[in-house]
């Protein structure tokens, strides 16, 4: 499960990176040629701290969603998982973008500490990162949350892979998860 999730997250980041390079080169040339912008605009655009933050937080966010959706995909049909994926992505990116309107507000500070939203809020706050101690606490919070949901969802994924019929109700899902696993020995 880990390889599948990390591989998919890196594929998505590769596609985003290729779009960034494809669209970034002309935009960079336009910024560099614009007389009203000062010479530090291009350097600010490619600040290594911003790029690293964007990559790390987006990778953590995609891994978190990947674990959740891989486990759900083992239990439900692909159409249901795709609808859930789109809904969750829109909600998380939307909350992250809403807090970027005023990154120093109390709401933005609180949203940063909600683990499912943290990586996406940090991506949208790339130009206004918090102080280093708070930044490392936020990263530790996201990694801890990722580890916790991974440990729970691996069980869900393993159970879902061995099901003959996907549960149709939430109660049946709980019943499936609470039954002990049977180990087969050859």
* Residue 59 binned pLDDT confidence (cut-offs 50, 70, 90): confident
Q: Give the CA distances from residue 78 to residues 52, 90, 131, 148, in Å, rounded to whole numbers and listed in that order.
A: 33, 18, 41, 25
pTM: 0.69
Q: What is the 3-state secondary structure (H, E, C) of 105-137?
A: CHHHHHHCCCCCCHHHHHHHCHHHCCCHHHHHH
Cβ-proximal residues to 49 (8 Å cutoff; 6+ apart), any chain:
129
- What integer pLDDT is reported at residue 120 of this predicted model? 82
Question: Which of 77, 66, 73, 160 shows the shortest CA–CA distance to 177?
Answer: 160
- What integer pLDDT is reported at residue 136 of this predicted model? 93
Q: What is the mean pLDDT of residues 127-146?
A: 89
Q: Yes or no: say if 120 and 96 are a contact pair by the CB < 8 Å rule.
A: yes
Predicted confidence (pLDDT) at residue 183 exceeds the cutoff of 60: no
Predicted confidence (pLDDT) at residue 122 exceeds the cutoff of 80: yes
* Residue 173 binned pLDDT confidence (cut-offs 50, 70, 90): low
DSSP designation for 102: S
Q: What DSSP element (H or E) covers 2?
A: helix 2-33
DSSP designation for 146: H
Cβ-proximal residues to 4 (8 Å cutoff; 6+ apart), any chain:
66, 70
Average pLDDT for the chain:
76
Collapse the DSSP code of 186 into the 3-class scheme (helix H, G, I; strand E, B; otherwise coil) and give the result: coil
Predicted confidence (pLDDT) at residue 140 exceeds the cutoff of 90: yes
* Residue 137 binned pLDDT confidence (cut-offs 50, 70, 90): very high
Cβ-proximal residues to 128 (8 Å cutoff; 6+ apart), any chain:
103, 104
Predicted confidence (pLDDT) at residue 164 exceeds the cutoff of 60: no
Angle at 88 (CA atoms; ends 82, 92), nearest 5 degrees: 145
């Amino acid at each position: 499960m880990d390889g599948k999730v990390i591989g998919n997250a890196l594929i998505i980041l590769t596609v985003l990176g290729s779009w960034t390079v494809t669209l970034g080169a002309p935009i960079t040339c336009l910024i560099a040629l614009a007389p009203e912008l000062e010479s530090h605009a291009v350097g600010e655009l490619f600040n290594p701290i911003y790029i690293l933050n964007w990559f790390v937080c987006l990778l953590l966010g995609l891994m978190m969603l990947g674990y959740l959706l891989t486990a759900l995909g083992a239990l439900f049909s692909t159409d249901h998982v795709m609808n859930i994926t789109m809904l969750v992505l829109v909600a998380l990116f939307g909350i992250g973008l809403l807090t970027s309107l005023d990154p120093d507000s109390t709401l933005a500070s609180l949203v940063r500490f909600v683990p499912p939203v943290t990586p996406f809020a940090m991506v949208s706050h790339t130009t206004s990162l918090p102080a280093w101690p708070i930044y490392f606490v936020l990263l530790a919070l996201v990694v801890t949350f990722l580890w916790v949901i991974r440990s729970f969802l691996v069980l869900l994924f393993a159970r879902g892979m061995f099901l003959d019929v996907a549960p149709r109700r939430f109660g049946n899902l709980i019943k499936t998860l609470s039954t002990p696993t049977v180990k087969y020995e050859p």
